[in-house]
Amino acid sequence: MKKIAARDSWEAIKARRAGVVEKVDNKNVYILGEDENGAFIDHYALQKKS
């Protein structure tokens, strides 16, 4: 259900760094990646439209 709601919302974010989507829920997106400083997880909060 969450996957369909996220797809149908047409919400888009642009990640600051390259990585793989690790987790998505109705309020957040987590990107897992690795750079010259080691592993990282970037967090992006989704805005709810009313």
- Let me know: does 28 contact 39? Beta carbons within 8 Å: no
What residues contact residue 13 under an 8 Å CB cut-off, 6+ apart?
29, 44, 46
pTM of this prediction? 0.69
Res 5: pLDDT:
66
User: Which tens digit of pLDDT belongs to each residue from 6-48?
Assistant: 667 666 788 899 999 999 888 899 999 999 999 999 999 987 6
Calculate the CA dihedral of residues 30, 26, 6, 16 and round it to 10 degrees: -30
Q: Pick the more confident residue, 46 or 1.
A: 46
Res 49: pLDDT:
64
Res 31: pLDDT:
94
